[in-house]
Amino acid sequence: MRKRCSLVGMPGSGKSTVGRQLARRLNVPFIDLDQRLEEVLGATIRQYFEERGEEAFREREAQLLAELTAAPGDMILSTGGGAVLREDNRTRLLAGGGSVMYLRATPDEIYKRIRHDKTRPLLQVANPLQRLRELYATRDPLYRAASHYVIETGRPTVNTLVNMIVMQLEMDPQA
């Protein structure tokens, strides 16, 4: 079984948490795209957004995603919540030589998980739940278009989600 998988989904859907555990279970490198971007940019994503704007950020994100999806070897890649906004990124993910899993969570579930997280620029608005609902309405079809499988993250524990993904990878000719 090839151990290459990308995780897509809304901010707070569990991509980083599940990805770390999945990589540990499969004994492969874990790469968090947002974390790697911050290293490359020399600034937090929030700072880069404020200084250069979203378009400049999305361009750098697309460049790094292209490098990572073209790189050889096994890995678990956790993408940023907005990585699917560009069609090129969705195409790269699907062609990247592994399975793409959409970790799907409803806006209400996400809000319950991250409502106290002050580090997420997404929630620093007057009505964060409404903002999550708007993002979900726009992005859900894009996550579906960029993935091979949809994994519902509502009830299962992280360990159960990891087990579900491992089972999917074992059955998947893409992986």
Binding residues for ATP are: 12-17, 120
- Binding-site residues for substrate, in ranges, read 34, 58, 81, 139
Sign of the CA dihedral 172, 160, 33, 115? positive
- Binding-site residues for Mg(2+), in ranges, read 16
- Pair 119, 11: CB distance under 8 Å: no
- Binding-site residues, in ranges, read 12-17, 34, 58, 81, 120, 139
User: Burial of 77 by CB count in 10 Å (0-12 exposed, 13-18 middle, 19+ buried)?
Assistant: buried
- Pair 68, 77: CB distance under 8 Å: yes
- Pair 62, 84: CB distance under 8 Å: no
Sign of the CA dihedral 48, 89, 164, 162? negative
User: Burial of 51 by CB count in 10 Å (0-12 exposed, 13-18 middle, 19+ buried)?
Assistant: exposed
